[in-house]
Structure 1
């Protein structure tokens, strides 16, 4: 009707209509650009998430969790404020990245429920931001948490869900295939493990020469670690001790050879525990106990390390009940368990 009115109007009236339309167009543009975000807010968030990624493996998880939770709440408030559509996508992605790291930290602190809640939050925010890679990282966290909670079917489903979102040719695809393999092993499915692990190896073979980075950090080592440490654990679960020993030694050598900035004390500790269990299965409890103590002396003994150490001490107690050294390892672990409680504050609703 307005178009018809413009066609029938006198030249002077038509000019007035067009002038008013130009003013409205300017208002539309101003509304599209209206934002309450400061000019450096997104840059600040990018820097903060980068620093949190670097701090994850180096600092005590409780301290990092508290600081990161504060930033996650800030991003939540920014999402409720006035911002542009492009700013909203960036804020959604930052919210997701923070929640992905919070999922890992909650897992490290022994709270699987909180960890899975943040993994789900990261996935949903990744979807809203149109960020498939973020969704895949979130499901990588969910797969690990479910494995440690002895829910291999859920772990495998999370890995497959992540693979459906992961970019082709990204090292994360290697890790997710390896997660699916580890979940099959935990379920006693040797054939499923072999199929998924071969898929991980093939994905690794097809990776491009140049590795992508995640907040300034090379992600290729995470794929390499998955091809060494995950099969070590898997072969232990499948009762193939010699293969477990071989992969655990390779994993430990890989971790120890990594640059200092990329070292992960907790992953090294788990590799030592896998090697210890393999030695115990092969009839060498003395080396197993020594490796267990070295793992528990790590600079970062998180819940996953203590969880695997409980597997080691339980096996040693059953297989070698008269070994006094085993009791010393049990006491070492018990002291660390006591020191770790309570670990995680309750997250407020709506976070």
Structure 2
């Protein structure tokens, strides 16, 4: 099945617009399109119609590039299938393994700060390069390094697709990542595939499936690995959504033991390297979901650490999530006015990715249930910034 949204279209639209020195507002005036619609096209949240693509092509003098991209959607399942098919008979060539592995780490470290629609084309290019090298010749040791690099890239690509709510593509690349990891006998990537699936089904409301997948991930993950810690934290969040406070606390206690002597990794922003700050952020989320009275204090401490100056900090996506956690805790504590303020900050930051939007919607629902008159402010912000509006 072909995906209806090709991330290359958004990237190309942004490039041609910037070449002309146009803001989204000015392009909207020239093209007679709304600023929000153009933003959704650039962010990969909405697919262009053929007429819109041809019209923007003329306005931006793009030489037919936009029209061709609109007519050539990416078949994510076919791309992932092709990569998986190569695994069984890989004669790899190339002397760029160190640079490839560095690129994997760079992309995984960009995940917390880069918009998903901007990160996706970069991951696709690196993954395609690894796929081409899988057709060459190299030693068995070098082949395994390529398979591992491809596995990390595939699971990262699946994660970005989940962020963009492109689940068909995400499923295809999680399968590809699992096959690559299995061929390379890499338990941690296999565990991350399970943990990523757990997060995806949790956001869709299937908490029992999330619990089962997070436990599977813990069994597969190597002892002491970041994947095992993350999967344990994911179990705690599943218990919180189920409403079992005792099991939630027990899982959080296990996370605390696993991270007690955990050093800060060399690249703490790396998505697949667990750092102590992430443990605190996950605890805040879990306690807020569980309705635990201690959630407010933990959430405030996390937000102060992430965003001491109120400008988003070094990890703006995590800061936005921390504000949603604090807002939920504040509603439970009978402070809906402040909950609205921090919730609106999170929403208007533009850093709440589509897959996390349900958390903003949940906060809005809780504020409205409280009867607070300030709820209208948060509703207006949600209406303006909602993905795919």
TM-score, normalization: structure 2? 0.68
Larger radius of gyration: 1
Runs of 4 or more off by more than 4 Å in structure 1?
210-220
| Structure 2 equivalent of residue 326 of structure 1 | 375
**Structure 1 equivalent of residue 367 of structure 2:** 316
For residue 79 of structure 1, the aligned residue among 113, 123, 134 is 134
Partner of 2:388: 341
- For residues 12-51 of structure 1, what are the structure 2 equivalents within 5 Å? 37-40=93-96, 42-51=97-106
Equivalence for 2:46: none
What's the secondary structure of 2:134's corresponding residue?
helix
Question: Secondary structure in 2 aligned to 1:164?
Answer: helix
Q: Secondary structure at the match of 1:99?
A: helix
Whole-Å separation in 1 of the counterparts to 2:338 and 2:104: 41
- Residue equivalent to 2:283: 231
Q: Which residue is equivalent to 1:279?
A: 330
Question: Structure 1 residues 74-83 or 244-253, which shifts more?
Answer: 74-83
Whole-Å separation in 1 of the counterparts to 2:364 and 2:211:
27
| CA RMSD between the two structures | 3.0
Q: Distance in 1 between matches of 2:272 and 2:180?
A: 21
Query: What residue in structure 2 maps to residue 15 of structure 1?
Result: none
Which residue number in structure 1 is paired with residue 232 of structure 2?
177
Q: Which runs of 5+ in 2 are unaligned?
A: 1-89
Would you say the 8 A contact 1:174–1:226 is kept in 2?
A: no
Q: Is the 8 A contact 1:112 1:149 kept in 2?
A: no
Q: For residue 134 of structure 1, report the CA deviation from its aligned partner.
A: 2.1
Instruction: Name the counterpart of 1:111.
Output: 166
Aligned residue pairs total: 299
8 Å Cα contact 1:174/1:203 also seen in 2: yes
Give the 5 Å matches for 1:145-294. Answer: 145-205=200-260, 207=262, 210=263, 213=266, 217=270, 222-240=274-292, 242-256=293-307, 263-294=314-345
Task: Measure, in 1, the Cα distance between the counterparts of 2:91 and 2:193.
Answer: 29
Preserved CA contact (<8 Å) 2:348 2:385: no
Is the 1:245–1:275 Cα contact (8 Å) retained in structure 2?
yes
Shift of 1:226: 4.4
Does structure 2 retain, via aligned residues, the 8 Å contact 1:126–1:135? yes
Report if aligned partners of 1:185, 1:234 keep a CA contact under 8 Å in 2. Answer: yes
Match of 1:140 in 2: 195
> Which runs of 5 or more structure 1 residues have no equivalent in the other structure?
1-33, 343-351
Q: 1:50, 1:219 → 2: CA distance?
A: 9
Question: What is the SS of the residue equivalent to 2:220?
Answer: coil
TM-score where L is the length of structure 1: 0.75
1:189–1:296 Cα change, 3 Å = same
**In 1, Cα distance between equivalents of 2:111 and 2:283:** 24
Structure 1 position 64, deviation (Å): 1.1
Query: CA contact under 8 A between 1:37 and 1:78: conserved in structure 2?
Result: yes
More helix per residue: 1 or 2?
Answer: 1
* Aligned counterparts of 2:243 and 2:194: Cα–Cα separation in 1: 22
